[in-house]
Structure 1
């Protein structure tokens, strides 16, 4: 009878170790699955693929910046397929936050205007240029909006004209800073008058 008890003891010890190993393996798989899912849904895995692709491409030689040269634009055109053709790219939108709040006078009454805007470009470099020059862009737009009359804001035609003028203001700043207008469109995201 003593031999039976001795035979069961090693079998129980082996089964206990197997359970622990199985639970440990299950925990490792669960944690790695959670980490992988988090990386996938946050886009960290996509960024890694983009970085690897950029590393494979040789850096473009820098052109001598002389009168009228636009190396950044030429490099983007070369990446798009050369010969001045631009590949169809998805638009990138950037809100100009916070919204613009300006006051203007209408027949002796002080009025307030809040305008929310977003710009659209097709290259992240252009959006970065907008962000880098945001103080100058905001200054020019505040001056533009503050110098308007009430009639400008009442009709769609006046609002569209104002939107076109705002686009021209932003493109002028970008032309001055990076040598190209960059921004294709500007859109209202809020338009409130009091």
Structure 2
């Protein structure tokens, strides 16, 4: 017995409906795949170059993280925290100071340079500090020759007046930090030095 026109019409409609549904689902899948592929290529999905570069840069070290790492197992807060606990007082948090830990590095050899337009010369020992992890210090050690050259160039551009006043020495510290950071950025793409300190300062 053959299908009557009444039963054949709904079957045709059902087949057309399924075809449109499949085309719609396929279009959505293609569109979603294209968006995901674009995000992946731009580095916003699944890591990418941006995420790798971010992971490769030095990381700021919060003070509380450094204290936890340095404290013996089961203890925190150091001597002040232990004393406060013994007296039944709350552990002091500290209301001032830097938010991040300071990582220090003293350069081994001193620097000697003539002063600008002067018969005098200056001899300084310097140390640097950074709020970042050990990678900044490692970068300084790796590129020590370039860093030393940058420091000597900055010292050679310093005039006599700058080395005899506190304000001049403070300005020189900032110039030296900028010179070191510029060298590290050129070599590693990241500076990270926060301050330069004088461990020795002689003018002759």
TM-score by length of 2: 0.52
Structure 2 unaligned spans of 5+ = 1-46, 63-98
**3-state SS in 1 of match to 2:59:** helix
Q: Does 1:72 align with 2:19?
A: no
Computed over aligned residues only, the root mean square deviation of the Cα atoms, in angstroms, reads 2.9
Hey, what does 1:155 align to over in structure 2?
165
Distance change (3 Å), C-alpha of 1:71 and 1:176: farther
Aligned partner of residue 180 in structure 2, secondary structure: helix
Structure 1: runs of 5 or more not aligned: 1-62, 81-87
Report if the CA contact (8 A) 2:116-2:157 is conserved.
no
Q: 1:121 aligns with which of 106, 113, 130?
A: 130
**Cα separation, partners in 2 of 1:124 and 1:169, compared to 1, 3 Å:** same
Using the alignment, how far apart are the partners of 1:89 and 1:157 within structure 2?
A: 26
Query: Alignment partner for residue 184 of structure 1, among 194, 199, 202?
Result: 194
Aligned pair count reads 122
Question: 1: CA distance between counterparts of 2:171 and 2:143?
Answer: 23
Report matched runs for 1:44-193 at 5 Å.
64-65=48-49, 69-73=53-57, 76=59, 90-104=101-115, 106=117, 110-122=119-131, 123-193=133-203
Alignment match, 2:70 = none
Q: Based on CA coordinates, which of the two structures has the bigger radius of gyration? A: 2
What is the alpha-carbon distance in structure 2 between the residues aligned to residue 105 and residue 92 of structure 1?
32
* Cα pair distance change 1:151/1:119, threshold 3 Å: same
On the 8 A contact 1:70/1:179 being kept in 2, the answer is no
